[in-house]
């Protein structure tokens, strides 16, 4: 449920997330509506019957939106018409958006009514499954909702004489700021799953506002960033725009975006470091990739988010990233050679990618194929993938997928794996974990519980391959996997994990 109402009498713990906002329309705080103000904030009802002004039964010339007719391009009119004809169940949502635009044009300072309309839009969107949310966002983009929201947001900042926003704390009766934070909820929520909306939003220059917010928060501790400030919402808008190739160039040319995000990499909390790291992975070019090196702790944070969000298409996900955002991030993070090894060395990564390849949405599967392809650029990883029966079977199945891009990309990946030849050097054919142990005297500091799972899985792969005679020399990888387990067993926690998993 969306709410803009900030209680200035107490600190609010941040419960927001990129994924939360995409499905719930939360404001940056992610809190629920203040009971003392909710009745005043929502007074309108959602009429699901289309009034005559929204009648789409006439010729193609009629978009059902007379108030916007002159402002839409022919392509936008056609898009709106098709959405109206194909989605009658969403007429109430479409009408809420149009009424908000009309209200803004009639009286741009009617903040109470604008808040009511915005909250109705966000609440309505949160109740829809994924496919319907996409349709509502497509409609919003076509009728210029992004541009109107940004215009109103900047009008409020100007009226308040603000160059940036840093905190949530303001009187709940301050309807201008209430409206501003509802608008921020729109920026985050609608940009998560709306490629066209991301592009429209990026074109408005709102990214400059978000970076300006973050600049004034760099000096805060990780604990302070997680409580009572707007860090996460500002970063979410930047991150979401990075997820569209069309909007990404606008992010890259935003002044000071890299330096500003990099400042948060030194913070201790994963919820602060993680979003900055994954956002930078989309922005940075190859020469600068050393800035985005992973560590097992933050990788596990990403995987936990992805597993928690997997398969949820409606309601409150209560996690920071959706599965698609994590897989997309892993794909880009894998452009760094160190990350490429570490991602595969962590046992949970391939389990996640396999789950997505088998049961993910179409967009998630497409991203997972791309991620595995990028990870396969490392010859050691490619050898492991080739010998992993579950992975190769998943890739083969996707070669007959109904989506052309998935079919083509899966075929390319399959060819890449088939062309991978075992190295004659046993060291070069060892698992990535074993190589990290041999190459780094402090390897135990960067390896952990996830690698125990990976190594035990690798021994199972070796055993299966040997039994089926699919490989001539499984003993090389077996030897190094056992060596790695022996090294990890020096750590008490890892030793207990090895015993627990090995006896299942």
pLDDT band at 142; cut points 50, 70, 90? very high
Q: Specify whether 450 is located in the same domain as 412.
A: no
Domain boundary among 379, 399, 421: 421
Q: Specify whether 22 is located in the same domain as 102.
A: yes
Of residues 338, 305, 341, the one with CA closest to residue 324: 305
Q: Specify whether 110 is located in the same domain as 159.
A: yes
Q: Specify whether 38 is located in the same domain as 74.
A: yes
Mean pLDDT of 88-98: 91
More confident residue, 41 or 452: 452
Domain boundary among 396, 421, 446: 421
Residues 277-317: tens digit of each pLDDT: 999 999 998 767 777 888 888 998 999 889 888 876 544 44
- What is the three-class DSSP state of 167? strand
More confident residue, 47 or 175: 175
Q: Give dist(CA 273, CA 112) in Å, integer.
A: 37
Give pLDDT, residue 72. Answer: 76
Q: Give dist(CA 13, CA 2) in Å, integer.
A: 16
Name the β-bridge partners of 167: 229
pLDDT band at 319; cut points 50, 70, 90? low
Please tell me the pTM assigned to this model.
0.73
Q: How many CB atoms lie within 10 A of CB 460?
A: 12
Q: Examine the pLDDT at 262 and tell me if it is beyond 60.
A: yes
Buried b (16+ CB within 10 A) or exposed e, 69-86: eeebeeebbebbbbbbee
- What is the three-class DSSP state of 30? coil
Give pLDDT, residue 222. Answer: 86
More confident residue, 503 or 120: 120
Give pLDDT, residue 440. Answer: 41
Give pLDDT, residue 178. Answer: 94
Per residue, the 3-state secondary structure of 352-378, as one string, reads HHHHHHHHCCHHHHHHHHHHHHHHCCC
Q: Examine the pLDDT at 6 and tell me if it is beyond 80.
A: no
Q: Specify whether 195 is located in the same domain as 69.
A: yes
Q: Give dist(CA 343, CA 375) in Å, integer.
A: 8
Q: Examine the pLDDT at 229 and tell me if it is beyond 90.
A: no
More confident residue, 164 or 475: 164
Mean pLDDT of 366-387: 91
- What is the three-class DSSP state of 85? helix
Q: Examine the pLDDT at 489 and tell me if it is beyond 80.
A: no
470 CB-near residues (< 8 Å, 6+ apart): 387
More confident residue, 501 or 115: 115
Q: Examine the pLDDT at 173 and tell me if it is beyond 80.
A: yes
Least confident range from 5-9, 19-23, 88-92: namely 5-9
- What is the three-class DSSP state of 13? strand
pLDDT band at 398; cut points 50, 70, 90? very high
Q: Are 268 and 222 in contact (CB under 8 A)?
A: yes
Structural domain boundaries enclosing 68: 1-283
Which tokens go with 128? 């829809």
Give pLDDT, residue 9. Answer: 28
Give pLDDT, residue 128. Answer: 81
Q: Specify whether 232 is located in the same domain as 126.
A: yes
pLDDT band at 59; cut points 50, 70, 90? very low
Domain boundary among 283, 303, 333: 283
Mean pLDDT of 327-345: 91
Q: Are 121 and 96 in contact (CB under 8 A)?
A: yes
Tell me the helix, strand and coil percentages in the chain, rounded to 5: 65, 0, 30
- What is the three-class DSSP state of 109? coil
Mean pLDDT of 102-115: 91
Q: What is the CATH number of the domain that holds 343?
A: 1.25.10.10
- What is the three-class DSSP state of 227? strand
More confident residue, 359 or 30: 359
Q: Give dist(CA 203, CA 251) in Å, integer.
A: 10
Least confident range from 73-77, 273-277, 392-396: namely 73-77
- Split into its structural domains, the chain has a count of 3
Mean pLDDT of 367-374: 96
Give pLDDT, residue 500. Answer: 62
Q: Examine the pLDDT at 333 and tell me if it is beyond 80.
A: yes
Q: Specify whether 323 is located in the same domain as 436.
A: no
Q: Specify whether 189 is located in the same domain as 84.
A: yes
Of residues 157, 130, 84, the one with CA closest to residue 312: 130
Q: Examine the pLDDT at 498 and tell me if it is beyond 50.
A: yes
Give pLDDT, residue 211. Answer: 97
Give pLDDT, residue 251. Answer: 97
Q: Specify whether 382 is located in the same domain as 317.
A: yes
pLDDT band at 268; cut points 50, 70, 90? confident
Task: Annotate 292-339 with DSSP letters as a single string.
Answer: G---HHHHHHHHHHHHHHTT--SS---SSS-HHHHHHHHHHHTTSHHH
Q: Examine the pLDDT at 233 and tell me if it is beyond 80.
A: yes
Residues 177-223: tens digit of each pLDDT: 999 999 999 999 999 888 899 999 999 999 999 999 999 999 998 88
- What is the three-class DSSP state of 119? helix
Least confident range from 44-58, 319-333, 349-363: namely 44-58
Q: Specify whether 414 is located in the same domain as 437.
A: no
Q: Specify whether 335 is located in the same domain as 466.
A: no
Give pLDDT, residue 461. Answer: 61
Highest mean pLDDT among 43-52, 111-120, 453-462: 111-120
Give pLDDT, residue 190. Answer: 94
More confident residue, 421 or 117: 117
pLDDT band at 160; cut points 50, 70, 90? very high
Average pLDDT, the chain: 76
Q: Specify whether 116 is located in the same domain as 200.
A: yes
């Amino acid at each position: 449920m969306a709410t803009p109402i900030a209680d200035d009498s107490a600190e609010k713990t941040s419960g927001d997330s990129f994924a939360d906002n995409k499905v719930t329309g939360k404001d940056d705080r992610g809190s629920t509506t203040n009971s003392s103000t909710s009745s005043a904030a929502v007074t309108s009802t959602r009429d699901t019957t289309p009034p005559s002004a929204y009648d789409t039964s006439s010729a193609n010339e009629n978009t059902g939106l007379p108030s916007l007719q002159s402002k839409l391009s022919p392509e936008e009119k056609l898009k709106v018409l098709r959405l109206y004809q194909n989605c009658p169940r969403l007429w109430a949502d479409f009408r809420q958006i149009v009424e908000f635009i009309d209200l803004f044009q009639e009286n741009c300072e009617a903040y109470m009514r604008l808040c009511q309309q915005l909250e109705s839009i966000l609440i309505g969107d949160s109740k829809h499954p994924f496919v319907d949310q996409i349709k509502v966002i497509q409609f919003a983009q076509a009728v210029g909702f992004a541009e109107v929201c940004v215009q109103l947001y900047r009008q409020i900042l100007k009226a308040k004489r603000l160059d940036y926003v840093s905190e949530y704390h303001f009187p709940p009766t301050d309807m201008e700021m209430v409206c501003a934070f509802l608008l921020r909820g729109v920026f985050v929520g609608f940009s998560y799953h709306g490629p066209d909306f991301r592009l429209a939003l990026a074109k408005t220059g709102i990214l400059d506002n978000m970076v300006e917010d973050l600049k004034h928060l760099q000096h805060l501790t990780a604990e302070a960033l997680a409580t009572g400030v707007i860090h996460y919402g500002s970063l979410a808008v930047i991150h979401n725009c990075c997820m569209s190739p069309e909007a990404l160039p606008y992010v890259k040319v935003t002044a000071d975006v890299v330096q500003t995000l990099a400042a948060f990499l030194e913070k201790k909390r994963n919820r602060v470091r993680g979003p900055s790291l994954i956002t930078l992975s989309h922005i940075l070019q190859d020469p600068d990739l050393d800035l985005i090196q992973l560590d097992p702790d933050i990788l596990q944070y990403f995987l936990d988010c992805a597993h928690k969000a997997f398969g949820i298409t409606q309601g409150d996900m209560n996690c920071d990233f959706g599965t698609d955002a994590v897989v997309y991030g892993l794909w880009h993070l894998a452009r760094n050679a160190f990350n490429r090894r570490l991602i595969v060395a962590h046992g949970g990564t391939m389990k996640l990618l396999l789950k997505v390849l088998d049961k993910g949405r179409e967009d998630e599967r497409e991203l997972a194929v791309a991620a595995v392809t990028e990870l396969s650029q490392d010859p050691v990883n490619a050898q492991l993938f080739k010998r992993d029966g579950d992975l190769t079977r998943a890739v083969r199945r996707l070669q007959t997928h109904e989506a052309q891009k998935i079919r083509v990309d899966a075929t390319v990946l399959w060819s890449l794996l088939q062309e991978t030849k075992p190295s004659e050097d046993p060291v070069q054919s060892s698992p990535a974990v074993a190589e990290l142990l041999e190459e780094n005297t402090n390897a135990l500091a960067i390896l952990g519980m996830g690698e125990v799972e990976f190594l035990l899985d690798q021994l199972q792969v070796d055993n299966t391959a040997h039994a089926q005679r699919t490989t001539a020399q499984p003993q090389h990888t077996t030897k190094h996997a056992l060596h790695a387990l022996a090294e990890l067993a020096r750590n008490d926690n890892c030793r207990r994990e090895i015993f627990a998993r090995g006896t299942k």
